[in-house]
Amino acid sequence: MKETKLKFGVIGSGSWATALIKILSENNNDINWYIRNSENIEFIKSNFHNPNYLSSVELNLNKLNMSSDINKVVENSDVIIIAIPSEYVNNEMNKIEVNLSDKIIMCALKGLVQETNLLFGEHMHKYFDVSKDNFLVIGGPCHAEEVALEKLSYLTIGSSNLNLCKVVSDKFKCKYINVKASDDVIGIEYASMLKNIFALAVGISNGLGYGDNYQSVLMSNSIKEMKRFISKRHKIKRNINNSAYLGDLLVTGYSSFSRNRMFGNMIGKGYTVKAAQLEMKMVAEGYIATKKAFLLNNNAKKKAKTPIIDAVYKILYDKRSAKKVFKDLSDIIS
């Protein structure tokens, strides 16, 4: 496949999907975009922006082929970017009737597939016969909101096929996006999930009234916990301080744009999970990720030491007092 012939298809219409559309529009033509709601498509055609997400971004309609038919988008694309929250992705993927085995699949979601408890790459290989050499994952640190503002941002694209990775990476580079290639697909997928849990923890501590000093120690312990968790599942030589791991954790934990930090902050202030979700009106993927990571670790033959994940799980799922749980946590971390 010639790199100049690559046609991209984006599945999803949230903030991150819209940001990816903006990035791809800088270098590519004929971008196929699956938007489930046909009314939103008509709105974009009339108003040049997404009605619900990143509404400040003016979209270049000359480069977009929008459709509410997921199979049409997949059929007409070589590279399929999946940018749907992990809890909904299986439902959308099951609508696809097109053979995906000869397509290039890019994971832009964060978390395990809810129904199978697999990383998205593992899920696609097992259920859709997608070769590992045709699979890529997009990591950060990169907030959709800063992409909208064209602030310099960074992507890490991972694949076991580094030649393909470099070809695809070039399609994302522009004046405000730097891209790095990596072969640590599994590590990036896990890091993208775990950083949301740790950002949620930072948000809880903030809501409880802990200061910057405590939060910095919490973040320091989070990166060590991330390293232990990932190493138990995919032990290769990796520098956990690289942007795809530590960088993505820092921006998600500290940024005012972080919906997971925002969700955690509300929990720390006493909101119930349901009340926080209703008020946010957005998906905080750290909520589902917490349960998945906790169960995955506790069911493993070789468990990692995960006091922060355990603490967040106790608060969200065991309905334990956030104040007491974080008091106990403060005696463990250092």
Token pair for residue 2?
């010639």
User: Poorest-confidence range of 168-182, 186-200, 282-296?
Assistant: 282-296
Residue 265 backbone phi and psi in degrees, to 5: -60, -40
Strand order in the sheet with 8-11: 64-67, 31-34, 8-11, 79-82, 104-107, 135-139, 153-158, 177-182
Average pLDDT of span 226-248: 93
What is the band of 54 on the pLDDT scale with cuts at 50, 70, 90?
very high
Q: Where are the domains of the chain?
A: 3-183, 187-330
Q: What is the per-residue pLDDT across 19-35, written as a single tens digit (0 to 9) for each?
A: 999 999 998 889 999 99
pLDDT, tens digit, for every residue of 119-156?
999 999 999 999 999 999 999 899 899 999 999 999 99
Element (H, E) at 80: strand 79-82
Q: How do residues 104-116 score in pLDDT, each as one tens digit?
A: 999 999 889 989 9
**pLDDT exceeds 80 at position 1:** no
Write out the CATH class of domain 187-330.
Answer: mainly alpha
Residue 284 has pLDDT above 90, yes or no: no
3-183: CATH, from 3.60.15.10, 3.40.50.300, 3.40.50.720, 3.40.50.2300 = 3.40.50.720
| Averaged pLDDT for residues 175-203 | 95
Does residue 3 register a pLDDT over 80?
Answer: no
pLDDT for res 252:
92
- pLDDT reading at 4 higher than 60: no
Q: Say how far apart CA 204 and CA 327 lie, in whole Å.
A: 12
Residue 323: predicted pLDDT:
96
Instruction: Tell which wins on pLDDT, 282 or 191.
Output: 191
Phi first, then psi: give them for residue 177, nearest 5 degrees. Answer: -130, 120
Instruction: Give residue 2's pLDDT.
Output: 47
With a pLDDT cut of 70, the percent of the chain lying above it is: 99
Residues 226-242, mean pLDDT to the nearest whole number: 93
Which pLDDT belongs to residue 179? 96
Bridge partners of 107, per DSSP, are 82, 137
Entry pTM: 0.91
